[in-house]
Chains A and B, each alone.
Chain A
Amino acid sequence: MLSYLLRRILAAVPVMGAVAVMIFLLLRLTPGDPAAVIAGENVRPEHLAMIREQLGLNQAIHIQFLSWIARLLQGDFGVSIISGTPVLDMIASRIEPTLSIAITTMLLSVVIAVPLGVLAAAHHGTLIDRIVIAISVIGFSVPVFVIGYALIQVFSVELKWLPVQGFRSITEGIGPFAERIVLPTLTLTLLYIALITRITRTSLLEVLGEDYVRTARAKGIGEVAVLLRHALRNAAVPVITVIGIGLALLITGVVVTESVFNLPGVGRLTIDAVLARDYPVIQAITLLASLLYVVANLLIDLSYVLLDPRIRY
Chain B
Amino acid sequence: MNTPSPTHAGTIDSRLPILLRYLAANPLIALSGLFLLIAVIAAVFAPLLAPHDPFYVDPVMRLKPASEANLLGTDAFGRDVLSRILYGARISLTIGVGAALLSVALGLTIGLVAGYVRSVDAILMRFVDGMMAIPNVLLAISIVTLVGANLWTVMLAITIPEIPRVIRLVRSVVLSAREEAYVEAAVTLGSSTLHILWRHLMPNTIAPLIVQGSYVCAAAILTESILSFLGAGINPVTPTWGNIMADGRTYFRIMPGLIFWPGLCVSLTILSINLIGDAARDLLDPRMAKRGVGR
Interface pick from A28-36, A107-115, A210-218: A28-36
Q: Tell me, in angstroms, the Cα distance from A12 to B290 when the chains sit together.
A: 30
Interface pick from A67-75, A178-186, A252-260: A252-260
A-B contact count (CB 8 A): 164
Interface pick from A18-26, A95-103, A168-176, A300-308: A18-26
Q: Give chain A residues whose Cβ lies under 8 Å from the Cβ of B268.
A: 141
**Size of interface on B: residues with Cβ below 8 Å to A:** 47
Residue A294, interface by CB 8 Å: yes
Q: Tell me, in angstroms, the Cα distance from A198 to B245 when the chains sit together.
A: 29
Residue B134, interface by CB 8 Å: yes
Task: Please pick, from A27, A146, A252, the residue contacting B266 in the complex, using a CB distance under 8 A.
Answer: A146
Q: Tell me, in angstroms, the Cα distance from A34 to B267 when the chains sit together.
A: 34
Q: Tell me, in angstroms, the Cα distance from A293 to B164 when the chains sit together.
A: 16
Interface pick from B8-16, B83-91, B229-237: B229-237
Q: Give chain B residues whose Cβ lies under 8 Å from the Cβ of A249.
A: 135
Residues from 265 to 285 in A contacting B, C-beta threshold 8 Å: 270-271, 274-275, 277, 279, 282-283, 285
Q: Give chain B residues whose Cβ lies under 8 Å from the Cβ of A22.
A: 127, 130-131, 134
Residue of A nearest to B143 (CB): A26
Cβ of B290 and Cβ of A206 under 8 Å apart?
yes
Q: Shortest CB–CB separation between residue B150 and chain A, in angstroms?
A: 12
**Size of interface on A: residues with Cβ below 8 Å to B:** 62
Q: Tell me, in angstroms, the Cα distance from A138 to B274 when the chains sit together.
A: 10
Q: Give chain A residues whose Cβ lies under 8 Å from the Cβ of B291.
A: 202, 206
Residue A143, interface by CB 8 Å: yes
Interface residue ranges, A against B (CB under 8 Å): 14-19, 21-23, 26-27, 30-32, 34, 37-38, 137-138, 140-146, 149-150, 152-153, 157, 198-199, 201-203, 205-206, 242, 248-249, 251-252, 255-256, 259, 270-271, 274-275, 277, 279, 282-283, 285-286, 289-291, 293-294, 297
Interface residue ranges, B against A (CB under 8 Å): 126-127, 129-139, 141-143, 145-148, 218, 222, 225-226, 229-232, 245, 252-253, 256, 259-260, 263, 266-268, 270-271, 274-275, 278, 290-293
